[in-house]
Amino acid sequence: MRSPVEERWVRRYRDDDGCETKLVCFPPAGAGASAFRTWALGLPSDIGVLAIRYPGREDRFGDPFPPRLEALADEIAEALGELTRHRLVLFGHSMGASVAHEVALRFQEWGCPPAALCVSGRRATHALAGRQMISGTDEEIIAHVVSFDASRAAVFADSDLSEIVLPAVRADYHLVDDYSGGPRPMLECPVYGYTGDEDSEVTPEQMRRWAELTHGDFRLRVFPGGHFYLRFEEATLLADLSEIPEMKSSAQGPPRDAFDAMGKTV
C-alpha cells in the first residue's frame, strides 16, 4: 500500500505490476513533474515512469519551498523509501541532476543504492566552483531563463501566468545558488551523463567529471542542442535510456536484506 507521503511527492505516469524497473525523474529548476508527462509513451512498457512533484508548483502550489537543496533531497529520499524495494534508475536534468545525486547518496547510505544514476545538463556535484550565480532580480532571473528557453518568454510576458510561475523559478534558483556541492561519498552504481553540444550552462568536458563520483562505469552521450536538448531529442534520449543495462528486466535488483534495512530506517 502506498503511503500518503509518497503519493504527495510522486506522480506516476506508468507504474503497474509489469514494470520491472522504475525510472524516477527529477525536474529542472522552475519545472514540475509534468515535464516528463510524455516519457511513458517513448519507453518500453516494462519500465515505470515516476516524476518527482516538487513543492510550490502545479498540484503542490500551496506547499512551502524547501530552505536548501539538501533539505529537498532529504524529504524526497524519506518519501521514496518504500520504492527502494524495487529496481530504481534515477534521472535528473539541470537542478534535478543535483537533487537526484543527493537522493542516490542517501539511498546508498541506507544500503539501497539505485541501479543507476542518469544526470543531464549539470556540472558534477564536486565541480560546481566557479559556476555562474543565477539568482538576482526578477527581471534578471527571467532574462536568464529566456536566454536558453525562448519558449518561456510568452509565459513571463503574461502578468497572470508570470505570477504563477515565477515564484517556483525564483525559489529553485536560490536553491541552486546556495548549493555549494563539494566532496561527496563515491557512488557504487554506474552513472550515465547526457548533455547538449550547445548548452550554455555546462560543457561536455564538465559533464565528464561525473565519472569521478562513482566506482561504477560512466558513459556520456552528447546530443545536438542547447540546455533543453531533451525536448527536441526526446525520442533518441528515451531510446538510449531504455537500452542501458540497468533498465533491462534481467538486471539484478536490490538485495532483499536491503529491503528489511529500509523498513527499519524510514
Active-site annotation, residues = 94
**Distances from the Cα of 242 to the Cα of 97, 149, 214, 238, angstroms:** 18, 27, 21, 6
- Tell which residue, 257, 252, 239, 202, has the closest CA to residue 43: 239
Q: Which residues of 216-244 are buried (b: 16+ CB within 10 A; e: fewer)?
A: bebebbebebbbbbbeebeeebbebbbeb
Burial of 107 (0-12, 13-18, 19+ CB in 10 A): buried
Question: What's the full length of the chain, in residues?
Answer: 266
